[in-house]
Structure 1
Amino acid sequence: MSSLSRLTAAIALSAATLAALPSHADEARYNQVALRAEVSQDVAHDLMNVTLYTEAQNDDPAKLAADTTETLNIAVERARQAKGVTVKLGSRNSYPIYDNDGQQITGWRERGEIRLESADFATLSKLTADLLKNLKMGGMDFAIANPTRKKAEDELLKDAVAAFKARADIATAAVGGKSYKLVSLNLNSAGFQPIRPMRMDAMASMSKSAAPQEIEAGTSEVTVAADGVIEVQMP
């Protein structure tokens, strides 16, 4: 037999052998059950956010802008002196004021914000009360800082896996299986963090007094979910 004939025969034999082998990629998988388990815990808010603003109007837009800038700069400089407080400029908008007929511009109104953030509630509360002598309260809310959230999620991972295993055991027994194999498992944070806003009456009380407002920051629920698939081994 020539070399070419032997090569052709070998290729044909190999193809026949491959065709006879079972295709594991297409092999059907039976007795699979999809499961989900969630664990959660309440985590105390450890981050306080405050928005303060100045708002005024003037016939001269240039003077209005200059006055707004000066007011914000003074507030920012004062806020930067407070240890542990992050200071950012917020939104700033200027718009015309029209007469009753809506035809002529009679003046301009401008609003500018500063945003403060700190884990030190007492310091930020005191600073806010001080700045409210010249600014107005735009809002106050509380949240979980990212490092705190990550730590809580890491602690919940083991609990989520344990909860998934418990459900897998229940599901296996329910269908009459003797054991199970884990096919897939995904661990995810729910990613939902409700922010606790401060009540309007509390904000009003803070704006009227230079004394620091007592703060009740509250909590948010941190959740970790385990989604997976098991393959039940039947007797």
Structure 2
Amino acid sequence: MPVITRSAALVLGASLLSSLPALADEARYNQISLRAEVSQEVPRDLMLVTLYSEEQNADPAKLAAGISDTLNKALAQAREVKGVIVRQGSRNSYPIYDDKGQTITGWRERAEVRLESADFPALSKLTGELLQSLKMGAMDFSIADKTRKQSEDALLKEAVAAFKARAQLATDALGGKSYKVVNLNLNSAGYPRPYASAPMMMKAARADAAPVTPDVEAGTSEVSINADGVIEVMMP
């Protein structure tokens, strides 16, 4: 048994020694981390509107029925407009207490309708009509998924070209003869540009007034592609 143990140790030691050149070959030198970014302004082509109904009543059943009636009429009207995606948002109710905070004197309930469309005129007109019975919760704009993908695909080649240009600059600065890419990661990002909203446009019209179509200005978002990677410079 002792002889067998020593033999195994000798074989293992020889194996480790024979692997040292291979480990040395795998060592990496003259590696540089680089980052390049390209971007472009893309018009926001998707309009999102949140409207809501909010009421209070001492009878929670009557309150819920009233909110449901208002909401159902608004949903039915919105579904008639072509190109508008209609969704129900959050709905919740909570008690109202007296001044001492001990006795419930009534209930308040709020329910949302969320609208989305690439047809700004159609959704603006519908929003104005629905403001006869609902209140404005929010109006926002974003880039549609399809538009964002097209923009990112167009920028991807530019990002790789920008990375290669920086890699060549770094190689020249070190006096190298060439370089190879060790790894490269491409990441996308979008940043909304601030835009001014007009509070006056969000006020509900009087019951006897004609619907007012809100004027909208969608603005743009910056879509960018980041190229992060590592190169190895080959020296003469």
Common fold: TM-score over 0.5: yes
Q: How far did 1:99 drift?
A: 1.0
SS state at 1:226 partner: strand
Q: 1:196 to 1:51 in 2, by over 3 A?
A: farther
Map of 2:100 onto structure 1? 101
Map of 1:210 onto structure 2? 211
2: CA distance between counterparts of 1:212 and 1:31? 63
Encode CA deviations 1:145-200: one digit per residue, 9 max, x unaligned. Answer: 1111011000000000010011001111111112111111111113x343756624
Map of 2:86 onto structure 1? 87
- 2:175 counterpart of 1:176: yes
Encode CA deviations 1:201-235: one digit per residue, 9 max, x unaligned. Answer: 25336757623222210000001011111111112
The sequence identity of aligned pairs, in percent, is: 63
Structure 2 residues without counterparts, runs of 5 or longer: 1-6
2: CA distance between counterparts of 1:186 and 1:86? 36
1: CA distance between counterparts of 2:89 and 2:196? 19
Worse overlay, 34-43 or 18-27: 18-27
1: CA distance between counterparts of 2:161 and 2:94? 58
Q: Is the 8 A contact 1:196 1:217 kept in 2?
A: no
Q: Is the 8 A contact 2:202 2:214 kept in 1?
A: no
1:81-230 pair list within 5 angstroms: 81-190=80-189, 192-194=190-192, 199-204=197-202, 210-230=211-231
Supply the AA of the counterpart residue of 1:112. A
SS state at 1:125 partner: helix
2: CA distance between counterparts of 1:92 and 1:25? 65
- 2:18 counterpart of 1:20: yes
1: CA distance between counterparts of 2:60 and 2:24? 72
Q: 1:111 to 1:103 in 2, by over 3 A?
A: same
TM (normalized to structure 1)? 0.87
Q: How far did 1:112 drift?
A: 0.6
Supply the AA of the counterpart residue of 2:230. V
The two structures, once aligned, show a CA RMSD in angstroms of 2.3
SS state at 1:220 partner: strand
Q: Is the 8 A contact 1:137 1:207 kept in 2?
A: no
Q: 1:185 to 1:103 in 2, by over 3 A?
A: same
